[in-house]
Every structure is written in C-alpha cells, then in structure tokens.
Amino acid sequence: MSIRFVGRVLGASAILCASVGSASAEDVVVRFLHNETDPPSITFFNNAITEFETNHPGIKIEMEAVSTDGRLQKVLASVSAHTMPEIFKILPEERFEFAKNGYLTPLGDLVDSIGRDNFVDGSLVPVEGVNYDIPYTLQNFSVLWTRDDLLEEKGLSVPTDWDEMQSTAAALTTDGNYGFIFPAGKNRMTSIFLAQMIWNAGGTFFDSDLNVTFNNPGTIKALTYLREMAKSSPAGIGSYSYGDMINVYLTGTVGMDIYAPRLIGNAALNTPKIFDATSPHPIPAGPVGFGVKFVNANSFAIASEKVGAKNIEAAKKFLEFIVSGDRQRDFSMTVFPHLIPPLKDVQEEVKAMGASSLGGREDFGTIAFDTSNGLDFESEAGATFENGKVTRSGTVNPYIGSIVARGIPAEVVQRVVLLGEDPAEAAAWGQEQMEALLADLKK
C-alpha cells in the first residue's frame, strides 16, 4: 500500500493519511474523507483499510484526512465541483440540509444490518424517517478537568456550580497560572462552548417552532459569566479552538478546563505528570440547577451521485466494515476515553479495556461515557431544563448549521470577551444576525 501526501486545501492544512494500493483500471476506488488526524487514528484507519482491501479484492480505498476547521471548506468545495468523495465525515447540524438537497445516499439498510437496536439512544437521527448517516463515535465536550495538585495547594475543593467555579478560578489565577480556559476564537468550538453555557442558564438558540430565541435571559447570563471567567483565563483565548483546549492545559499552567476526554488521552501519552494530577468531574451546574452537556455523534455519510459520488455499493461495504464490530472497538481505543462507541455492546468492552490502559482509573470512562442530559446544535431547539433533566422538543433544526458555519455565536462571544460589549447588546446583535440569515435561507 502506498501513501500519498496532500498539501494545503483551500487554505486549511490537509494531511493525507493514506492509501491507495496500486489500483488497476479494473479496480473500484472508494474515496474516504475525514478529520481524525491524530497519529493513532491514522494508524487504525491504515490498518483497517489494508484488512478490507485484502478481503475485498478489486476495491481500493483512497483516504484523505483534513484538519477539523478545514473539513467543511473541503466538503463545500467538493459539493460545488461535483467531486464529492463517496464516504465523508458529516456533522449533525449539516445532516438535514445535505439530505434535503439530495447530497446524501439513504443508509437505513446499513443501520439494520449493523443492528438498529444496538445503537445508543439518540445516536441515530433520521431525516423525515430516513437514516442518512452512520455514527462512528459519540463526543462529550462537557467534562470538567481539574488539576488536583493545584487545588490542594490552595486548599480548594472541586467546584460543583457556576459560583464555585468562578471563585475557584479566581483563586487559582496567580504566579503565572490561570484558573480556567475556554475558547473565544471565531470557530465552531467557541460556538459549542457558548451553546452549553446558554443551555446551563436555561436558554436555547431556537424554540420548537424554529423561531430564533437567542436573545434570551439565559444567553445574557452565559455571556456575563464568560466575561467574568475571562479574567481568570489566558490572554490568548481570542484565537483558541479545539487543539488549544488541550495544548494549553498540558503546559501545566491551567487549573480547570471544560473539554472533551481527548484531553486526558493526550495527557497520558505526552505529559504523564499532568495526567497523574488530573481528575474528571461532571460539568458544574448552571442556573438551571444541574449540568447540561454538549454531546454529539460523529458520523460518516455516503454522498450521492448528484454531487459526484460514483462507487456507492462498494462504499457501503467499506462503511459497514469500518463502523462496526472489532473496528469500532479498536478505533475507540485509539484515544480512550474520548471516542465513545455508539454501539451498546462495544461500549462496555471499551470501558473495561480503557480503564486497564489508564492504570485502572475507571473514573475516566465513567464520567466521559455519561452522555445523559446532553444536546447538540441540531436537537437543542425548544429544549427544556426542569427537575434535573433535559427534555428535547423533538424538533430537528435545519438552519443551525448555517448559523454556526457563519460563526455568529462565536462572534457574539468575541464581542463580549474581547471587545467589552455589553452582554445584552451582544445577544441582541446575535439575534438580529441569525434572523437575517434565517430569512435568506427561507427564500
């Protein structure tokens, strides 16, 4: 198997990871695009492709991995040029629009073949009754990571609510250390962080009738809180995205970080002292009285012939292979406990294996794999927060993807945190921008 390397794609760094064997004129080539660029993930995919190609002579897999922030640019350019790869990573907030535009191939037959009842509740999200994507992992962006040594040094306890987290962060911000870190760059990660803070304060972006409700008391509370937490955060948060939430924590200068479990996986590999001093905890309760998480499924879809996909039946064979059975287990173990299996039987096996790989620390998997009281962009419209429980309205939002892609929520954060704008004014500005975009989308 040869390895090709791709340079820059639309200004975003792209890493090709792998793989086409010397394809003959008779070979069927399946193109595969994703953004899982960590070296252990690349090794997993290369090995899985080798196994698949060995068992399916005549089918070759051509894999390309791009950066997380560059993925959407690559996909949109390929849709426009009608050159879409057969299999590609799709985000939840893109699902509805892509399906309605005819960009996706229905995959209900694959769901049934894998075992529909074996998928974790909420991980399968049909569009008008049709499954267009297959989840390969769940992600929980809402684990509170704390440096136990720094807390102990100051005589502090792990915070359980917003007030305690603010006072703890302030107490830890001293002698070149910072109490907290959050993203404030104009990117999707900042929008994710703001969303979970808004939900924890009782607000949503939309109501169940898909009216924009961004300018609500919950949003203003969330922005006001982030303005205060910025005082205990590094000055560079204005450019932070996904990777910074890990890399800055691993410098050893940050006491608390709300982020996905990839943080502890990277700490185990790269900074063992920080790994030993770090513990996971539930996200502190906001004004609603309990913690609301941002949890989404990462999925693969198969593009349709309308946008350039060619070898769809061969793509279905590879997609079923890569997301099920031992492959899902092995992929989930590449960055335990970050990559949460969406198949119930695989999840229990991975939790047991993962605890063993991290020195017997069962708490990592227990906290990370708890995806209860979670929402994502597509499901948050009209959600309610009462009696310690999130209740979804059942409305699937076809518009939120465009709002997030435009960076409107992230810009709202920047207006408050970086430019000093009043939170109420920033929330009103965000509402206006979202309503204007919504009007354009409905034309």
Query: Where in the sequence is the domain holding 251, given as residue range(s)?
Result: 143-291+373-442
In a domain? residue 364 = no
pLDDT tens profile 266-276:
999 999 999 99
- Report yes or no on 435 lying in a domain: yes
Q: Give the list of residues 6+ apart from residue 348 with CB closer than 8 angstroms, or none.
A: none
72 and 28 fall within a common domain: yes
Q: What is the domain count for the chain?
A: 2
- Please state, in angstroms and rounded to a whole number, the distance separating the CA atoms of residues 170 and 368: 26
Same domain, 285 and 171: yes
Domain boundary among 316, 332, 357: 357
CATH number at residue 97: 3.40.190.10
Q: Is residue 366 part of a domain?
A: no
Say if residue 283 is in the same domain as residue 318: no
**Would residue 153 count as lying in a domain?**
yes
What's the per-residue H, E or C state across 75-117?
HHHHHHHCCCCCEEEECHHHHHHHHHCCCECCCHHHHHHHCHH
Q: Express each pLDDT in 237-280 by its tens digit.
A: 999 999 999 999 999 999 999 999 999 999 999 999 999 999 99
Please state, in angstroms and rounded to a whole number, the distance separating the CA atoms of residues 287 and 135: 32
Residue 420, CA distances (Å) to 223, 296, 414 in order: 11, 31, 9
Q: Residue range 84-100: average pLDDT?
A: 92
Which candidate, 182, 179, 200, places its Cα nearest to that of 191? 182
pTM of the model: 0.85
Cβ proximity of 210 and 395 under 8 Å: yes
Is residue 343 situated within a structural domain? yes
Residue 362 lies inside a defined structural domain of this protein: no
pLDDT at 7: 29
pLDDT for res 97:
87
Distance of alpha carbon 91 from alpha carbon 296, whole angstroms:
9
pLDDT for the residue numbered 5: 22
d(CA 182, CA 237): 7
- pLDDT for residue 159 is more than 50: yes
**Does 58 lie in the same domain as 115?**
yes
- Span 1-5, average pLDDT: 26
Same domain, 158 and 225: yes
User: Can you give the pLDDT at residue 25?
Assistant: 61
pLDDT in tens, 29-78: 999 999 999 899 999 999 999 999 999 999 999 999 998 878 988 999 99
Closest CA to 19 of 41, 46, 40, 53: 46
Mean pLDDT, the chain, whole residue set = 92
Euclidean distance between CA atoms 60 and 309, whole angstroms: 15
User: Can you give the pLDDT at residue 121?
Assistant: 84
Measure CA of the first residue to CA of the last residue in the chain; give whole Å: 49
CA distance 118 to 105: 22
* Res. 439: pLDDT tops 90: yes
From residue 405, how far is each of 101, 184, 275 by CA, in Å? 17, 15, 34
Q: What is the DSSP string of 183-202?
A: --SSSHHHHHHHHHHHHHTT
Query: Is residue 405 domain-shared with residue 331, that is, in the same domain?
Result: no
Is 368 part of any domain? no
Residues 46 and 126 reside in one and the same domain: yes
* Inside any domain, residue 281: yes
Does 417 lie in the same domain as 316? Answer: no
pLDDT at 6 over 70: no
Query: Residue 20 and residue 53: Cα distance in Å, rounded?
Result: 10
pLDDT digits (tens, 9 = 90+) for 374-423: 999 999 999 999 999 999 998 989 899 899 999 999 999 999 999 999 99
User: Same domain for 310 and 413?
Assistant: no
pLDDT recorded at residue 396: 87
279 and 404 inside one domain: yes
Query: Please, what is the Cα angle at 50 between 46 and 55, to 5 degrees?
Result: 150
* Distance between CA atoms of residues 68 and 77, nearest Å: 15
- Within this chain, do residues 324 and 341 fall inside the same structural domain, yes or no? yes
Which residue in the block uniquely carries the two structure tokens 């359980």?
160
In this structure, are 227 and 202 located in the same domain?
yes
Rounded Cα distance between 416 and 252, Å, is 27
